[in-house]
Amino acid sequence: MAAPLTLASSSPRRKELLERLGFQLRIVQANIDESQLPAELPEDYAKRVARAKVLAVVRRLQATLYTTDQEARRQFAQGPGGVPAHGEDPVRWVVGADTVVVVDDQIFGKPADLQEAREMLLRLSGREHLVITGFCLFDLKRNREGLQAVTTVVKFKDIAGHEIDQYLSTGESMDKAGAYAVQGVGSYLVEYMRGSYTNVVGLPLCQVIEMMEEMGARDVLPWGRDS
């Protein structure tokens, strides 16, 4: 059995992507300020937020896992969504990500309400846009990290007003960057894309696995754990 991978995210889509590959996950949500800095470029923003999420979780793990309080360690290992401690290193690897949709250098995050979701979809209609995911992988044992951003180009079909209303009625828009879900009903809005599909869903699996291989995280890989 592979060692557990800590996912610094509450995103059900990232969780599903990794679980489909067979990863054993512990979910630890990172509560950080995700406000964009003045003049910050979209790629820099996505990478900074992804790293901040991971480091926030790393600090929590270090405070819990390396304490002498055995009861705190036991509660962490048995906590909601957790996995039991695994050998001498119950948690070593932490991964987190942040995904943004970009149009005219403007970042589209998750819409605050239906009106903002409608405005986002109107801006995306008939146009290409960028989906950028920054992701960070942290090794607690060696105290080192990897950081990268992946970009996918997505082109929407021309969307009529009544189509936007119909799509909004599905409820998919409210917790998605750019107000659409490429893995859901929103797939029919996409005319074409260039680049990683899973990046648009929320985590560029190809590049994440490559980074794991490069950093030596083979113990968490479902198919590549060293004997």
Q: Contact, 97 vs 135, CB < 8 A?
A: yes
113 catalytically annotated:
no
Q: Contact, 53 vs 96, CB < 8 A?
A: yes
Q: Are strands 5-7 and 93-103 parallel, antiparallel or unpaired?
A: parallel
Q: Are strands 128-139 and 93-103 parallel, antiparallel or unpaired?
A: antiparallel
* Encoded tokens for 197: 């599909």
The active-site residue, picked from 33, 44, 89, 98, is 98
Q: Are strands 25-27 and 93-103 parallel, antiparallel or unpaired?
A: unpaired
* Packed helices 161-168 and 114-124: angle between N→C axes, nearest 10 degrees: 140
- Catalytic residue IDs: 98
